Amino acid sequence: MAETAGSSVKARSKQALQDDFLRKAVKFTTERLKNGKRKATEEHGNWEEWRERGRQIRLHTIAHLDYYLNLFADNARKAGAQVYFARDAAEAAVITREIVREKQARSVVKSKSMVTEELHINHVLEEMDVAAIETDLGEYIIQLAHEPPSHIIIPAIHKNKQQIAEVLSEVAGERLEPDTQVLAGFVRRKLREQFLAAEIGMTGCNFAIAETGSIVIFENEGNARMCSTLPKTQITFMGMERIIPSFEDLEVMATLLPRSATGQKLTAYMSAITGPRRTADGDGPEELHIIIIDNGRSRQLGDPDFQELLNCIRCGACLNVCPVYRHIGGHSYGSVYSGPIGAVLTPALMEDPSEWQDIAYASSLCGACWEACPVKIPLHDMLVYLRNRKVESGTTPTAEQVMFKGFNYMMSDHRRLERFLRLGKVGQKFVARDGYIRIKGPLKGWTNYRDLPEIPKQSFRDRWKELQVEIAQQPRTKTMIQDIEQRMRKVLEERSKGGGSGGGHQE
């Protein structure tokens, strides 16, 4: 899926913008999710207090991550799980391969997990000639279509019913009607066979409870429960930051995550799994392997600008409110994680972020992502830090560098600026029409998508003297509220007396 990394966000989004259905589908879905969230949070009430509590729990856990992660690993082992620490995709692959070989697995059923996408586990299994079957309805569809997910919650958001019917008909060997019930019914039957036949079930992990060594999975379909109930061996992949201290803390996460993701009070299933099946139990996996993944996450620890990224609970609320995501869709970001969180997380996870940094520009810095975030991650600030680091690393295009040097030179002296504007006023006569400059030239990065207003005949600075006279001549209108005016007068008097530095509160 990283294959798309070669082209730029601009190129990929251009393609996405030309796909009319994609754009409408993304807008339709994100709109619904967004409204669902608003309704759920308003209904629940005290949303700000819940957000703040969620943020505090995440901050506390990450600040003491060595303690809590250690406690989790110890407790999970006590419950009978086998726990591994994998630094990167290569180490995760070594562990996975060995377990798969040992179990002589022919097929693996998987429930939705962004981490396994990140690690390319399907590719590892493919190389071993082991079938890796995605069992989340949306993931199953895009796996059959050989496409990467385009939304963290609704991975097949970019496909319509007809397209889905075509893909599934091929598997069924007969023509399936483009009807949701028919299509879902087919997938249910088909995947049921796979669940019962697979030797290994793979899952992700939403939260891991340090004090009990439990993993917690939120889902709506029941496929993660299948993966963790039917196969004899379960492998769970977990980002090292998924930890929370206790089940009590889970109440806060269970309040924030489903409401932010889909507007539900709780997902249809929330499962807490502690170790493999007990000896006398009749079902559940005989072996539970938990692979804890770093893969670039620890790089954010101790980084004042980016540490809060580790607080993310992967709800997707920032995608649904992002004006850029809503237009260009998930694939344009060219990585596993899309939207505002992806724009920050992807470079932050990379060892060499320079090649990915153009996605930091796929945002309007409006701050809607921060407002939507249930744990208040300041994503818009982080996007600015990323841009800043790119400039500092000297990897911005030469033209941009020259332009900003020039801008700096010009703006640091008002006489210089005036001379330049006077020159511009003459120069633009050749290119300005009806008050706008529409040519594509050195300014095309800007003028391709919007018109540049022409330089006005008179600048504000030109008009300033004139304006001052005008104000002085005007009869004093009584627009200002009396007491405010009095206070301001008092400040002015004090200032003219030389008392204090002015500006502070007087009363």
Partner 1 sequence: MADTRNKQGSGKARAIYASKERQDEWMQAIADRLGRPRITEMPQHPFRGAPDFWRAYDLQQEERINLFMNNWTNLGGHAFRMSSMEEVGRFLLDFVRETGAQKLMQRQPELMGLGLAEALHDVECTVWDSSAEEMIDEAAQADIGVVVVDHAAAYTGTIVVLSSPDKGRSTSLLPRALVAVVPASAIEASLGPILKGLDARPKDQLPAGVHFITGPSRSSDIENDLTIGVHGPGIVYALVVG
Window 261-280: residues binding partner 1 (CB under 8 A): 262, 264-278, 280
Closer to partner 1 by CB, 213 or 329: give it. Answer: 213
Closer to partner 1 by CB, 9 or 154: give it. Answer: 154
∠ CA 142-143-145, rounded to 5°: 60
Q: Count the Cβ atoms, other than its own, within 10 Å of residue 39.
A: 12
User: CB of 76: closest distance to partner 1 in angstroms?
Assistant: 11
User: CB of 255: closest distance to partner 1 in angstroms?
Assistant: 8
Closer to partner 1 by CB, 9 or 156: give it. Answer: 156
User: CB of 18: closest distance to partner 1 in angstroms?
Assistant: 21
309 binds partner 1 (CB under 8 A): no
Closer to partner 1 by CB, 288 or 345: give it. Answer: 288
Residues 67-106 that bind partner 1 (CB under 8 A): 67, 69-70, 73, 75, 77-79, 82-86, 91, 94-95, 98-99, 102
User: CB of 495: closest distance to partner 1 in angstroms?
Assistant: 45
User: CB of 95: closest distance to partner 1 in angstroms?
Assistant: 5
User: CB of 257: closest distance to partner 1 in angstroms?
Assistant: 13
Is the distance from CB of 101 to CB of 276 less than 8 angstroms? no
Residues 358-397 that bind partner 1 (CB under 8 A): none
Binding partner 1 (rule: CB under 8 A), the pick from 2, 6, 14, 28 is: 28
Closer to partner 1 by CB, 222 or 367: give it. Answer: 222
249 binds partner 1 (CB under 8 A): yes
One-letter amino acid for residue 281 of the chain: D
Q: Give the span between the Cα atoms of 145 and 156, in whole angstroms.
A: 10
Is the distance from CB of 338 to CB of 319 less than 8 angstroms? yes
Binding partner 1 (rule: CB under 8 A), the pick from 298, 354, 393, 468 is: 298
Closer to partner 1 by CB, 84 or 420: give it. Answer: 84
Q: Give the span between the Cα atoms of 366 and 351, in whole angstroms.
A: 28
Q: Give the span between the Cα atoms of 329 and 274, in whole angstroms.
A: 37
Q: Give the span between the Cα atoms of 374 and 50, in whole angstroms.
A: 8
Alpha-carbon distances of 144 from 132, 186, 224, 349, 479, rounded to whole Å: 11, 14, 19, 28, 68
329 binds partner 1 (CB under 8 A): no
Helix (H, G, I), strand (E, B) or coil at 146: coil
Helix (H, G, I), strand (E, B) or coil at 2: helix
Residues 278-297 that bind partner 1 (CB under 8 A): 278, 280-284, 294
Q: Give the span between the Cα atoms of 282 and 285, in whole angstroms.
A: 10
One-letter amino acid for residue 258 of the chain: P
Binding partner 1 (rule: CB under 8 A), the pick from 121, 137, 344, 432 is: 137
Number of residues forming the site for partner 1 (CB under 8 A): 105
User: CB of 180: closest distance to partner 1 in angstroms?
Assistant: 4
Closer to partner 1 by CB, 310 or 362: give it. Answer: 310
DSSP state of 478: -
**Tokens for 119?**
């690690």
Q: Count the Cβ atoms, other than its own, within 10 Å of residue 329.
A: 28
Residues 215-244 that bind partner 1 (CB under 8 A): 220-223, 225-226, 228-230, 240
37 binds partner 1 (CB under 8 A): no
Is the distance from CB of 380 to CB of 367 less than 8 angstroms? yes
Is the distance from CB of 199 to CB of 231 less than 8 angstroms? yes
Binding partner 1 (rule: CB under 8 A), the pick from 115, 164, 312, 321 is: 164
Residues 175-194 that bind partner 1 (CB under 8 A): 180-181, 183-184, 187-188, 191-192
Closer to partner 1 by CB, 95 or 431: give it. Answer: 95
Binding partner 1 (rule: CB under 8 A), the pick from 132, 133, 254, 318 is: 254
Count of CA atoms in the C-beta half-sphere (13 A) of 339: 27
42 binds partner 1 (CB under 8 A): no
One-letter amino acid for residue 3 of the chain: E
CA 429 to chain centre: 45
Closer to partner 1 by CB, 216 or 432: give it. Answer: 216
**Tokens for 198?**
């697979």
161 binds partner 1 (CB under 8 A): yes
CA 93 to chain centre: 25
Helix (H) / strand (E) element for 10: namely: helix 9-18
DSSP state of 337: S
Closer to partner 1 by CB, 169 or 220: give it. Answer: 220
User: CB of 284: closest distance to partner 1 in angstroms?
Assistant: 5
Closer to partner 1 by CB, 10 or 278: give it. Answer: 278
Provide φ and ψ at 152, rounded to 5°: -65, -30
